[in-house]
Amino acid sequence: MEQASRGRKPYYELTSAMVKTGILGYGGGPSVIPLIRYEAVNHYGWMEDEEFGEILALANALPGPIATKIAAYLGYRQKGTPGAIVAVIAHILPSSLAMIALLSVVGYLSSSTVVQGMIAAVVPVVAVMIGLMAYEFAERAVKGLGKPAGFGFFALSLVMLEVIHIHAAIVIIAFLAYGAFHFKAVRRLRGKLGKRGTPDDGKEDGS
């Protein structure tokens, strides 16, 4: 799917995807992530869901707005530095223009009961979108690590974030470091078991 996407019009696709997420993303960076994920994974097929989850974790660990960091990565992945520039501009330009246009009527909008009702209606939708994406990533984590380890890590991260109050970036970096160590250890163990099993298999075949 990725090659087919590149064969079409990558700059148009980047601009279209980032403009849509910039316009429809309400409530800041976290609320935009499900929209960017849909465009990158489901709509244009630029990457697999697992890769998007890894990029999301790395973006959370880096300073700055998360939505623009992911937009820059997607643009760079498709068309290098020019693509990153196009993606970031396309993502922030609609909201920037909207902010400028609404400054003249901000006093009225802040006191309007209609606008307050619209905001109150949108907030649950954003919460459900974020919760659904978190559930899907958690489901993959449990499948990869197993239920005991998966739920154990969920509890550990909750304690680190809410009880000890460790910064989220430090928690993410710690889990990324553990993940790298875990997969290396599993590969070495499988390699050793495979080497031990090879001579025995040969003897069984010979007999």
Average pLDDT across each block of 10 residues of the chain; the chain has 207 residues. List them in order. Answer: 55 89 73 86 87 83 82 91 91 84 71 75 80 80 77 87 87 81 74 62 48
At 62 the pLDDT is 77
Q: What is the pLDDT of residue 73?
A: 92
Say what the pLDDT of residue 171 is. 85
The owner of tokens 């889990």 is 175
Kindly report whether the global pTM for this prediction surpasses the value 0.75.
no
Q: Compute the distance between CA of residue 12 and CA of residue 64 in angstroms, rounded to an integer.
A: 26
Contact predicate 67/25, CB 8 Å? yes
What is the distance of C-alpha 113 from the center of its chain?
34
Distance CA 162, CA 104 (A): 40
Q: Residue 196: its pLDDT value, please? A: 64
Cα–Cα distance measured from residue 25 to residue 42, given in angstroms and rounded to the nearest whole number: 17
